[in-house]
Amino acid sequence: MDFDVLPPLPRVFGRVVLRRLEVADLDRFQSYRHDPAVGRYQGWEPQPDREVVQFIEEMSRLDLFPRGAWIQLGLAMCASNELVGDVGICIDAEDRRAEIGFTLARDAQGAGLGTEAVRGLIQFIFEQAGVAEVVAVTDQRNVPAGRLLERVGMRKVESLPTLFRGESCVEQVWTISRTAAQNHNAGAR
Ligand SMILES: CC(C)(COP(=O)(O)OP(=O)(O)OC[C@H]1O[C@@H](n2cnc3c(N)ncnc32)[C@H](O)[C@@H]1OP(=O)(O)O)[C@@H](O)C(=O)NCCC(=O)NCCS
Protein backbone atom coordinates (compact mmCIF):
# COMPACT_ATOMS: atom_id res chain seq x y z
CA MET A 1 0.00 0.00 0.00
CA ASP A 2 1.32 3.45 -0.92
CA PHE A 3 0.85 5.71 2.11
CA ASP A 4 2.07 8.79 0.18
CA VAL A 5 -1.00 8.89 -2.09
CA LEU A 6 -4.10 10.05 -0.26
CA PRO A 7 -7.45 9.31 -1.90
CA PRO A 8 -9.17 12.51 -3.14
CA LEU A 9 -12.30 11.84 -1.05
CA PRO A 10 -13.36 12.49 1.63
CA ARG A 11 -12.26 16.13 1.50
CA VAL A 12 -12.91 18.64 4.27
CA PHE A 13 -13.98 22.20 3.38
CA GLY A 14 -14.28 24.09 6.67
CA ARG A 15 -17.28 22.69 8.57
CA VAL A 16 -18.41 20.36 5.78
CA VAL A 17 -16.94 17.29 4.19
CA LEU A 18 -17.35 16.28 0.55
CA ARG A 19 -17.74 12.51 0.35
CA ARG A 20 -19.45 9.73 -1.57
CA LEU A 21 -23.17 9.33 -0.95
CA GLU A 22 -23.97 6.24 1.13
CA VAL A 23 -27.12 4.12 1.43
CA ALA A 24 -27.17 5.17 5.13
CA ASP A 25 -27.89 8.75 3.88
CA LEU A 26 -31.22 7.67 2.40
CA ASP A 27 -33.54 9.26 5.01
CA ARG A 28 -31.73 12.61 5.06
CA PHE A 29 -31.41 12.68 1.25
CA GLN A 30 -35.10 11.91 0.85
CA SER A 31 -36.20 14.47 3.44
CA TYR A 32 -34.65 17.42 1.58
CA ARG A 33 -35.26 16.06 -1.92
CA HIS A 34 -38.98 15.89 -1.05
CA ASP A 35 -38.98 19.49 0.22
CA PRO A 36 -40.68 21.55 -2.55
CA ALA A 37 -38.79 24.71 -1.51
CA VAL A 38 -35.45 22.94 -2.03
CA GLY A 39 -36.42 21.47 -5.41
CA ARG A 40 -38.14 24.64 -6.71
CA TYR A 41 -35.42 25.59 -9.22
CA GLN A 42 -33.75 22.21 -9.63
CA GLY A 43 -33.73 19.92 -12.65
CA TRP A 44 -34.46 16.79 -10.58
CA GLU A 45 -37.79 15.47 -9.24
CA PRO A 46 -38.22 13.52 -5.97
CA GLN A 47 -37.91 9.74 -6.47
CA PRO A 48 -39.09 6.71 -4.48
CA ASP A 49 -36.65 5.09 -1.99
CA ARG A 50 -35.95 2.09 -4.23
CA GLU A 51 -34.76 4.29 -7.10
CA VAL A 52 -32.71 6.50 -4.77
CA VAL A 53 -30.90 3.47 -3.31
CA GLN A 54 -30.06 2.35 -6.87
CA PHE A 55 -28.89 5.88 -7.70
CA ILE A 56 -26.64 6.07 -4.61
CA GLU A 57 -25.14 2.66 -5.39
CA GLU A 58 -24.52 3.70 -8.98
CA MET A 59 -22.86 6.96 -7.85
CA SER A 60 -20.62 5.10 -5.41
CA ARG A 61 -19.28 2.91 -8.23
CA LEU A 62 -18.53 5.75 -10.67
CA ASP A 63 -15.01 7.04 -11.22
CA LEU A 64 -14.62 10.36 -9.43
CA PHE A 65 -15.08 12.53 -12.53
CA PRO A 66 -16.51 10.58 -15.47
CA ARG A 67 -16.12 12.69 -18.61
CA GLY A 68 -19.38 13.79 -20.23
CA ALA A 69 -21.62 12.54 -17.37
CA TRP A 70 -22.87 13.82 -14.02
CA ILE A 71 -21.65 12.48 -10.69
CA GLN A 72 -23.45 13.31 -7.45
CA LEU A 73 -21.47 13.53 -4.19
CA GLY A 74 -22.63 14.11 -0.62
CA LEU A 75 -22.00 17.06 1.70
CA ALA A 76 -21.94 16.13 5.37
CA MET A 77 -21.17 17.92 8.63
CA CYS A 78 -17.58 17.14 9.66
CA ALA A 79 -18.58 16.82 13.30
CA SER A 80 -21.37 14.23 12.83
CA ASN A 81 -21.02 12.90 9.26
CA GLU A 82 -24.74 13.72 8.86
CA LEU A 83 -25.72 14.51 5.27
CA VAL A 84 -26.68 18.18 4.79
CA GLY A 85 -26.83 18.28 1.00
CA ASP A 86 -25.22 17.17 -2.21
CA VAL A 87 -23.41 18.49 -5.25
CA GLY A 88 -23.44 17.44 -8.90
CA ILE A 89 -20.41 17.75 -11.17
CA CYS A 90 -20.26 17.19 -14.93
CA ILE A 91 -16.97 17.52 -16.76
CA ASP A 92 -17.37 17.71 -20.53
CA ALA A 93 -15.88 15.05 -22.80
CA GLU A 94 -13.11 17.43 -23.94
CA ASP A 95 -12.04 18.09 -20.32
CA ARG A 96 -12.49 21.83 -20.89
CA ARG A 97 -15.16 22.79 -18.39
CA ALA A 98 -17.00 21.48 -15.38
CA GLU A 99 -20.62 22.30 -14.62
CA ILE A 100 -21.71 22.17 -10.98
CA GLY A 101 -25.02 22.04 -9.13
CA PHE A 102 -25.51 22.20 -5.36
CA THR A 103 -28.27 21.61 -2.82
CA LEU A 104 -28.51 22.15 0.93
CA ALA A 105 -31.28 20.86 3.19
CA ARG A 106 -33.40 23.73 4.49
CA ASP A 107 -32.21 23.21 8.08
CA ALA A 108 -28.58 23.60 6.91
CA GLN A 109 -29.15 26.88 5.03
CA GLY A 110 -28.39 30.37 6.30
CA ALA A 111 -25.12 29.43 8.01
CA GLY A 112 -22.55 29.80 5.22
CA LEU A 113 -22.15 26.04 4.70
CA GLY A 114 -23.07 26.25 1.00
CA THR A 115 -20.48 28.94 0.35
CA GLU A 116 -17.80 26.90 2.14
CA ALA A 117 -18.75 23.79 0.19
CA VAL A 118 -18.94 25.40 -3.28
CA ARG A 119 -15.73 27.41 -2.78
CA GLY A 120 -13.96 24.19 -1.76
CA LEU A 121 -15.57 22.22 -4.58
CA ILE A 122 -14.29 24.66 -7.23
CA GLN A 123 -10.76 24.38 -5.85
CA PHE A 124 -11.09 20.58 -5.68
CA ILE A 125 -12.24 20.35 -9.33
CA PHE A 126 -9.33 22.50 -10.55
CA GLU A 127 -6.96 20.28 -8.56
CA GLN A 128 -8.36 16.98 -9.78
CA ALA A 129 -9.20 17.79 -13.43
CA GLY A 130 -7.55 19.72 -16.24
CA VAL A 131 -10.57 21.96 -16.92
CA ALA A 132 -10.09 25.67 -17.63
CA GLU A 133 -13.39 26.83 -16.10
CA VAL A 134 -16.18 25.87 -13.74
CA VAL A 135 -19.72 26.96 -14.66
CA ALA A 136 -23.08 26.98 -12.89
CA VAL A 137 -26.53 27.63 -14.32
CA THR A 138 -29.23 29.18 -12.13
CA ASP A 139 -32.74 30.53 -12.44
CA GLN A 140 -32.71 34.31 -12.02
CA ARG A 141 -35.47 33.99 -9.38
CA ASN A 142 -33.14 31.83 -7.26
CA VAL A 143 -31.62 34.75 -5.35
CA PRO A 144 -29.83 32.68 -2.62
CA ALA A 145 -28.01 30.66 -5.31
CA GLY A 146 -26.91 33.84 -7.12
CA ARG A 147 -25.67 35.37 -3.87
CA LEU A 148 -23.70 32.21 -3.07
CA LEU A 149 -22.07 32.19 -6.52
CA GLU A 150 -21.07 35.85 -6.18
CA ARG A 151 -19.51 35.09 -2.77
CA VAL A 152 -17.35 32.31 -4.23
CA GLY A 153 -16.09 34.63 -6.98
CA MET A 154 -18.19 33.44 -9.94
CA ARG A 155 -19.16 35.94 -12.64
CA LYS A 156 -22.51 36.08 -14.44
CA VAL A 157 -21.75 35.87 -18.16
CA GLU A 158 -25.07 35.11 -19.84
CA SER A 159 -28.80 35.57 -19.22
CA LEU A 160 -31.04 33.49 -21.48
CA PRO A 161 -34.84 33.66 -21.53
CA THR A 162 -36.26 30.12 -21.31
CA LEU A 163 -39.14 27.98 -20.05
CA PHE A 164 -38.85 25.94 -16.86
CA ARG A 165 -41.73 23.68 -15.78
CA GLY A 166 -44.05 25.65 -18.06
CA GLU A 167 -43.09 29.07 -16.65
CA SER A 168 -41.03 31.71 -18.44
CA CYS A 169 -37.85 32.53 -16.64
CA VAL A 170 -34.30 33.68 -17.22
CA GLU A 171 -31.47 31.19 -17.01
CA GLN A 172 -28.21 32.71 -15.79
CA VAL A 173 -24.81 31.25 -16.61
CA TRP A 174 -22.01 31.82 -14.10
CA THR A 175 -18.35 31.05 -14.61
CA ILE A 176 -14.97 31.12 -12.90
CA SER A 177 -11.61 30.44 -14.54
CA ARG A 178 -8.72 28.60 -12.91
CA THR A 179 -6.78 31.87 -12.50
CA ALA A 180 -9.76 33.78 -11.12
CA ALA A 181 -10.36 30.99 -8.57
CA GLN A 182 -6.71 31.12 -7.45
CA ASN A 183 -6.90 34.92 -7.07
CA HIS A 184 -10.22 34.70 -5.24
CA ASN A 185 -8.87 32.12 -2.79
CA ALA A 186 -5.70 34.12 -2.22
CA GLY A 187 -7.88 37.17 -1.43
CA ALA A 188 -10.16 35.12 0.86
CA ARG A 189 -7.26 33.89 3.03
C1 LIG B 1 -28.47 27.74 -2.97
C2 LIG B 1 -28.38 27.41 -1.50
C3 LIG B 1 -27.35 26.31 -1.25
C4 LIG B 1 -27.93 28.68 -0.75
O5 LIG B 1 -28.04 28.44 0.65
P6 LIG B 1 -27.64 29.61 1.66
O7 LIG B 1 -27.87 29.10 3.02
O8 LIG B 1 -28.28 30.88 1.25
O9 LIG B 1 -26.09 29.80 1.38
P10 LIG B 1 -24.89 29.56 2.38
O11 LIG B 1 -24.94 28.21 2.96
O12 LIG B 1 -23.67 29.98 1.69
O13 LIG B 1 -25.22 30.58 3.58
C14 LIG B 1 -25.15 31.97 3.34
C15 LIG B 1 -26.12 32.67 4.22
O16 LIG B 1 -25.85 32.34 5.58
C17 LIG B 1 -25.56 33.52 6.33
N18 LIG B 1 -24.56 33.14 7.34
C19 LIG B 1 -24.85 32.89 8.64
N20 LIG B 1 -23.76 32.49 9.30
C21 LIG B 1 -22.74 32.49 8.42
C22 LIG B 1 -21.36 32.17 8.52
N23 LIG B 1 -20.81 31.75 9.66
N24 LIG B 1 -20.59 32.28 7.39
C25 LIG B 1 -21.12 32.70 6.24
N26 LIG B 1 -22.45 33.01 6.09
C27 LIG B 1 -23.24 32.91 7.18
C28 LIG B 1 -25.10 34.54 5.28
O29 LIG B 1 -25.34 35.86 5.72
C30 LIG B 1 -25.98 34.18 4.09
O31 LIG B 1 -27.27 34.69 4.20
P32 LIG B 1 -27.74 35.89 3.20
O33 LIG B 1 -27.50 35.41 1.79
O34 LIG B 1 -29.16 36.03 3.58
O35 LIG B 1 -26.86 37.03 3.55
C36 LIG B 1 -29.76 26.96 -0.94
O37 LIG B 1 -30.67 28.02 -1.08
C38 LIG B 1 -30.32 25.72 -1.62
O39 LIG B 1 -29.87 24.61 -1.40
N40 LIG B 1 -31.36 25.91 -2.46
C41 LIG B 1 -32.02 24.78 -3.10
C42 LIG B 1 -31.16 24.16 -4.19
C43 LIG B 1 -30.79 25.15 -5.28
O44 LIG B 1 -31.64 25.93 -5.73
N45 LIG B 1 -29.52 25.12 -5.71
C46 LIG B 1 -28.99 26.05 -6.69
C47 LIG B 1 -29.15 25.59 -8.08
S48 LIG B 1 -27.79 24.64 -8.64
pLDDT tens-digit series, residues 24-51: 999 999 999 999 999 999 988 999 999 9
Mean pLDDT over 116-130 rounds to 97
* Closest ligand 1 atom to 101 CA: 48
Q: Check whether the bond before 48 is cis (ω within 30° of 0).
A: no
**Residue 186: predicted pLDDT:** 85
By most ligand atoms within 8 Å of CB, the mutation choice from 102, 118, 121, 143 for ligand 1 is 102
Q: How far is the CA of 86 from the centre of ligand 1 (A)?
A: 14
**Residue 187: predicted pLDDT:** 79
**Domains of the chain, earliest start first:** 11-188 (3.40.630.30)
Q: How far is the CA of 55 from the centre of ligand 1 (A)?
A: 26
Cβ-based neighbour number of residue 110 at 10 Å: 10
Q: How far is the CA of 93 from the centre of ligand 1 (A)?
A: 31
Residue burial 16-46, b: 16+ Cβ < 10 Å; e: rest: bbbbbbbeebeebbeebbeeeebeebbeeee
pLDDT tens sequence across 65-95: 999 999 999 999 999 999 999 999 999 999 9
pLDDT above 60 (res 2)? no
Of 2 and 176, the one with more pLDDT: 176
Q: How far is the CA of 87 from the centre of ligand 1 (A)?
A: 14
Residues within a 6 A CB radius of ligand 1: 38, 41-42, 101-104, 109-115, 138, 142, 144-145, 147-148
CA–CA distance, 41 with 60 (Å, rounded to integer):
26
**What secondary structure does DSSP assign to 78-93, as a single string?**
TTT--EEEEEEEEE-T
pLDDT tens sequence across 140-149: 999 999 999 9
CA–CA distance, 180 with 184 (Å, rounded to integer):
6
Q: Place 189 in a pLDDT band, splitting at 50, 70 and 90.
A: low
The residue whose CA is least distant from atom 22 of ligand 1 is 112
* Mean predicted lDDT score pLDDT of the chain: 95
